[in-house]
Amino acid sequence: MPNYDSIFNAFLTILVTIDPPGLAPLFLAVTRGMNRHERSQVSVRASLIAFGVMAVFAIAGATILSVFGITLPAFRVAGGFLLFFIAFEMIFEKRQDRKEKTADVAITKDLIHNIAAFPLAIPLIAGPGAISATVLLSGSFQGPVAKAALVGIIGACLGLTYLVFLLSERIDRILGETGRSILTRLLGVLLAALAVQFVADGIRALIAA
């Protein structure tokens, strides 16, 4: 069983790489047009999917990557390209344009499920940084009890992320339509920069390897 210092350090490491406060405005942006109940569904599903992904990597991450011949830098490059595509849609409001093609576009279960899985769960919550940290920490948490402790730490971090998503609804009411539009475009630019950074870091690591 790992000591309290190891548990606390692992908790801080995973929490910082997930960055729940930083995800809150992105959550608002990608769930634009949804009501409170629909956002709650997205937040629950995204948190559960991210937990499942990170728990698997905590238990057998290094083995999984080696089996498929995938390196973490390659994963970072792929995640960066996917994030850039989402950023493009946020900046130019492509999602909103599609919604306006009909008088009232319903938020379907498929849409809720899709947004929860991508881009929220992967790669925003369980992204390259969080997965990298999880795989690295798993090397220090050997044995069934230690692995269970690491999975519990991941669960606690994602529980906090879920709470942040719930509180983000109040922010949405304060912003209003104009505020949301400005915030969506601003975050799209920031997300595009983050995506480029992911790709650059991944390419740098691939070249160094």
CA distance 61 to 54: 9
Structural domain total, the chain: 1
Residue 149, pLDDT score: 95
**pLDDT one-digit tens code per residue, 7-36:** 988 998 899 888 888 788 889 888 888 888
Residue 98 has pLDDT above 70, yes or no: no
- Judge whether 6 and 77 are in contact, CB under 8 Å: no
**pLDDT one-digit tens code per residue, 169-182:** 776 677 677 877 78
CA distance 178 to 199: 32
Which pTM does this prediction carry?
A: 0.73
**pLDDT one-digit tens code per residue, 190-200:** 878 878 887 89
Structural domain of 156? 4-208
Residue 115 has pLDDT above 80, yes or no: yes
Residues contacting residue 34 through CB under 8 Å, at least 6 positions apart:
42, 107, 112
